[in-house]
Structure 1
Amino acid sequence: MKNTIFALLFLLIWGCNKNSDRLPILGERETTTRIVDGKEVVDTLYHTIPDFKFVSQNGDTVTAQNFKDKIYVADFFFTTCPTICPVMKKQMLKVYEKIKGQNDVAILSHTIDPDHDTPAVLKEYATDLGVTGNQWLFVTGNREKIYEIGEKKYLVVAGADSTAPGGYIHSGAFVLVDKEKHVRGMYNGTDDEATKRLISDIERLQEEYKNKE
């Protein structure tokens, strides 16, 4: 419930900032002080996605290093999901087609049913969607690690629930992550307009980095 509240709060924050030139950085933040040239300087430490280790549909180990210098979109799903996952993947395909071939953007989909969703199952799932190469990775791994990074770092609902259809519950959010591993946006993965905003915000982030060069 706490993570659901966080997600709703961040969506509200996003709504308040959507007309800003710069996308907000979502999540909790801390401040730290240091001494520079004899003066006290206050730095803000923003919420970041930590390193991780999963296995992709291609059988390769996937870590945060795979997304070095990349903007990426993360989500959580399972291949036998009877409810929102098919709609989510239809929407994510729109993102995939838009970014396909762009070296600075990627997609990372985490299964929340790792017992069933082996690399071979994920490979077949990706192939059925028409996904090739490594720009869109579907990953599996340790169940608790997947749930932990989903709920504590990507700030979404992701876990087992015997009362939910298919035995698992997840929020259906698409999470936009920048090159510094900050969460910069959360979007309803079942909504066409939200997906269009995500695509637009990816372009805004690309422009933000281009202006830094």
Structure 2
Amino acid sequence: MSNRNKIMNLRNGLAAAALALASTAFYGCDNSTPQDTLPIYGEREPVERTVDGKTVIDTIYHQIPDFAFVNQDSQRVTQETVAGKVYVTDFFFTSCPTICPKMKTQMLRVYEAYKDNPNVVLLSHSIDPAHDTVAVLKDYAERLEIETEKWHLLTGDKDSIYDIAGNYLAAAREDEGAEGGFSHSGDFYLIDQQRRIRGHYNGTEEEDVDRLIQDIPRLLNERKDEKK
């Protein structure tokens, strides 16, 4: 299957899961306790292996591939930066005249909620790397009054940024008809310690970001449970 088809299937799966969750929230009138485990989004691939002479089927989930970008302090940010951590990611550009200011206001809420937790980081990818140089991102970060080690504003090769957006199931592209010249998703994506997508949230809606803030401890506790 081509990478494009895989990404389309992943997006379709994400949309279907979101619809199912929304339907449950709307029709669920009982007082039952919600599941503590967040869903894992994306395609699943069964893989057979032999253990003690018996065939065992493991499930391989969609995982964000390795990456390499540069942040506002000219530091290289890769998959090693987020190894063993929960992280939240999004896509923006500093000259965005539409949804980005709302998104950054909401991401600041996530930042403030977890700025003292070393197991949570934020990655914001610029989709306009030609304009959003390290110097521009540095100025943007200073205006947000954020610490680099907690919230990385990323730039790099344009094709690499757009490719990683597809792996997050996020829309990101140049668009002459859009205000600012780019179209992109306003969603925030919650990624677990194994770089699997565990949630997506409307980054312009306070209520949805409240849900994100509440979901992060569920992933942190999930890892603790695995170590027991």
TM-score range, shorter chain: over 0.9
What is the alpha-carbon distance in structure 2 between the residues aligned to residue 12 and residue 212 of structure 1? 29
What residue number does 2:149 align with?
Answer: 134
1:77 to 92, 102, 110: 92
**3-state SS, counterpart of residue 37 of structure 2:** coil
What is the alpha-carbon distance in structure 2 between the residues aligned to residue 29 and residue 14 of structure 1? 19
What is the alpha-carbon distance in structure 2 between the residues aligned to residue 4 and residue 47 of structure 1? 12
Query: Do the aligned partners of residues 187 and 76 (structure 1) sit closer, same or farther apart at CA in structure 2, a change above 3 Å counting?
Result: same
For residues 110-129 of structure 1, the aligned pairs below 5 Å read 110-129=125-144
Does structure 1 retain, via aligned residues, the 8 Å contact 2:49–2:57?
yes
Confirm whether residue 156 of structure 1 aligns to residue 170 of structure 2.
yes
1:167 to 181, 184, 195: 181
What is the alpha-carbon distance in structure 2 between the residues aligned to residue 6 and residue 158 of structure 1? 18
What is the alpha-carbon distance in structure 1 between the residues aligned to residue 141 and residue 171 of structure 2? 23
What residue number does 1:47 align with?
Answer: 62
Does structure 1 retain, via aligned residues, the 8 Å contact 2:69–2:76?
yes
Does structure 1 retain, via aligned residues, the 8 Å contact 2:13–2:41?
no
How much is the aligned-residue C-alpha RMSD, in angstroms?
A: 1.7
2:35 to 16, 20, 24: 20
Confirm whether residue 59 of structure 1 aligns to residue 66 of structure 2.
no
What residue number does 1:29 align with?
Answer: 44
Deviation by residue 1:32-81 (Cα, 9 ceiling, x = unmatched): 11111111111100000111010100001110000011000000000000
What is the alpha-carbon distance in structure 1 between the residues aligned to residue 90 and residue 199 of structure 2? 12
**3-state SS, counterpart of residue 73 of structure 1:** strand
Cα deviation for residue 13 of structure 1 reads: 4.5
What is the alpha-carbon distance in structure 1 between the residues aligned to residue 43 and residue 180 of structure 2? 32
Does structure 1 retain, via aligned residues, the 8 Å contact 2:14–2:42?
no
Does structure 2 retain, via aligned residues, the 8 Å contact 1:161–1:169?
yes
Cα deviation for residue 5 of structure 1 reads: 4.3
Taking structure 2 as the reference length, what is the TM-score of the superposition?
0.88
**3-state SS, counterpart of residue 46 of structure 2:** strand
Aligned residues: 212
The letter for the 1-side match of 2:76 is: T
Query: Do the aligned partners of residues 87 and 11 (structure 1) sit closer, same or farther apart at CA in structure 2, a change above 3 Å counting?
Result: same
Taking structure 1 as the reference length, what is the TM-score of the superposition?
0.94
What is the alpha-carbon distance in structure 2 between the residues aligned to residue 178 and residue 154 of structure 1? 12
What residue number does 1:212 align with?
Answer: 226
**3-state SS, counterpart of residue 25 of structure 1:** coil
Q: Which consecutive unaligned segments of at least 5 residues does structure 1 have?
A: none
The letter for the 2-side match of 1:187 is: Y
Does structure 2 retain, via aligned residues, the 8 Å contact 1:17–1:23?
no
